[in-house]
A and B are shown apart, each in its own frame.
Chain A
Amino acid sequence: QSVLTQPPSVSAAPGQKVTISCSGSSSNIGGNYVSWYQQLPGTAPKLLIYDNDKRPSGIPDRFSGSKSGTSATLGITGLQTGDEADYYCETWDGSLSAVLFGGGTKLTVL
C-alpha cells in the first residue's frame, strides 16, 4: 500500500485526454515538489514532469502537471498508442525522510 495513491488504471481513445491523480498528505505532496515518470514496457522509467509542472527538454507539451494542496495531477492530451505505459508520481516525505513513489497507473489507449 503506497503512501501516494494513484488509480491502478485509466483508459481513453486515441486523440482524447486523460488525467492521472496522485493523492498524498501535507508531509509529502503538500510541502514538496512532485515529479512524474513514464515507464514503457521493458524499459527504465523516464522523467516526464518535475517541480510539479515543468517538462524536461524533449518532452512534448501534450504532457502537463499540476499540484493543488496535497494532490497532484498528470494530464496527457492527444493520446497516442505510444503513450501506453505505466505512470508514477514521486515526491519527498519530510516526516519519513524518504522518497515516495505512487503505486503506478497503467494507461491503456483503446
Chain B
Amino acid sequence: EAAVTQSPRSKVAVTGGKVTLSCHQTNNHDYMYWYRQDTGHGLRLIHYSYVADSTEKGDIPDGYKASRPSQENFSLILELASLSQTAVYFCASSHREDTQYFGPGTRLLVL
C-alpha cells in the first residue's frame, strides 16, 4: 500500500509568521503535489514537483514556496502566513499520469 505522511497534522499560526508543512512518501514516486482545500473550491494545486531539487507552480502559487530536497520529501513553506491561508492542505504523490495517493491532510489555522 502506497504511503504518504504529513506533518504536522494540525497547526495554529500567527499572521506574519513562517509555517512549514512537510510531506514524506515511501512510494518511490517521481511526482509530488501540494493542494489546499477550502469549502466551495475543492482541491486546488499550489506547487508540484517531478524531480528532486526542482519545483513547479500550480494554479495558486502566490504566497507559497515549495522545496523538494529528495525524492521522498516535499515541503510547503508559508514565509508570511496570512488569514486567507487558513485551509486544509493535502500532499500527494504519483507516477506521471498515474493514480495519486494522498496524505491525511494538515489543518492550518492562521490567527
- Judge: A and B partners, yes or no: no
